[in-house]
Amino acid sequence: MEFNERMAELAHKIANSKKQCLNEEGTKTALVLPLLQLMGYDIHNPSEVVPEVNRDIKGRGDRVDYIVRQDDADKIVIECKHWDKALTTFVPQLASYYVASDARFGILTNGIDYWLYTDTCKKNLMDDTPFVRINMEHLDETGMEWLRMFCKDHFNDDKIWNKAYEQKTIESLRKSLRNEYANPSVDFTALMAKRIFGCNHSKTDQQRLKSLLQMAIKDVAHEIETGEPLYAPVGNAGEQSVLAIVQNILSDMVSKDRIQLFVGTSYSTIRLDGIVWYSILKFKWTGNVQWVSVSKMTYANCKVANSLSNKHYLNNLDEIRTYSKDIKDIVKVLILPEGTSRQEWITDNRPDWK
């Protein structure tokens, strides 16, 4: 049986048996030790999975529940709590065991939640926050992958630490970027003002820039996600010619200004009203490659679909008119009067879009 299948089966058993664990010892026996065993550790070997180990730096004789050891060295410090206990208040307890150990990783668990820690901020001092949280009742692919890395046969201190460092750093960057988007900081705004206005920018410049930064960050995020610019560049002569032909085809349906060109690096798009999800067609018009891909609307969810799989290669610009019906039909369904069913229209007029 594959590791993921065995882990999923164990997770199911854990979820069903947790209520029979009446105390912390029951939790360790029924929920925690089976997981360690599945990960390849010999839970019956007291030199590999060592229970009740004195690793209390304060000298009070407190004992950590388990230490996983390899090659006569501490690898993972594990502190367990009853399955219905929240873990937050026990983080300092695990941290005290961690600093008294040579282990690079700490796990705080109640048999359902597993919080994994290391020392990305300062060597031998456990981070305040885990680099990953795994819930056995909602075990996903990410959790599976982390558990696999901690298996006996895959365990590699440096590899796990480096991945944990990347994980925590990326999350910190995401948090910082989200905060900058929600409310650009003074430092960030000043940096952008210096780049845009030069060294002699004023506080007024910074104040004006702050709200615009939010808009700019949102636009850039959209462009990165879709690969298309949010606002329309002018385009070259060929691209403008394609736009003019499409505007002419649709002249009896919508006004010219509603048909807009958006120039991208891989291809260009013509949209209705400039709306991202109102793509009429995508095309490439260079000296070597000329093709057009007209959008359609899926019956299932009534969304515009253009996977570029229906490319039509062209010899000249006038051949775009060959696809006039397709161009008109996608716009017809986009501008249907309110209350009109797009699904019914597609069924009656474009069953090939289904």
Q: What is the bridge-based pairing of β-strands 259-263 and 268-272?
A: antiparallel
Closest CA to 250 of 311, 316, 325: 325
Summarised one tens digit per residue, pLDDT across range 89-125 is 999 999 999 998 989 999 999 999 999 999 999 998 9
The beta strand positions in the chain, using DSSP E, are 49-54, 63-70, 73-80, 105-109, 113-117, 132-135, 259-263, 268-272, 279-285, 290-294, 296-297, 304-305, 312-313
Q: What domains are defined for the chain?
A: 3-168 (3.90.1570.30), 183-225 (no CATH), 237-353 (no CATH)
For residue 158, what pLDDT is reported? Answer: 94
Burial class (CB in 10 A: 0-12, 13-18, 19+), 48: middle
What gap in Å lies between CA 293 and CA 279, rounded to an integer?
A: 10
Can you tell me whether residue 87 is helix, strand or coil? coil
In one-letter notation, the amino acid at residue 42 is D
For residue 293, the cross-strand partners are 282
What gap in Å lies between CA 318 and CA 249, rounded to an integer?
A: 11
What is the share, in percent, of the chain residues with pLDDT greater than 90?
Answer: 46
pLDDT band at 235 (very low <50, low <70, confident <90, very high): low
pLDDT band at 145 (very low <50, low <70, confident <90, very high): very high
> 219: Cβ–Cβ under 8 A, 6 or more apart, which residues?
230, 231
Lowest mean pLDDT among 30-39, 49-58, 139-148, 320-329: 49-58
Other Cβ atoms within 10 Å of 244 Cβ, number: 14
Summarised one tens digit per residue, pLDDT across range 290-341 is 899 998 887 776 777 766 668 888 888 889 999 999 999 999 988 988 778 8
Helix axes 237-249, 324-334, angle to 10 degrees: 70
What gap in Å lies between CA 210 and CA 207, rounded to an integer?
A: 5
Tell me what the pLDDT averaged over the chain comes to: 87
Q: Are 126 and 98 in contact (CB under 8 A)?
A: yes
* Mean pLDDT within 273-297: 84
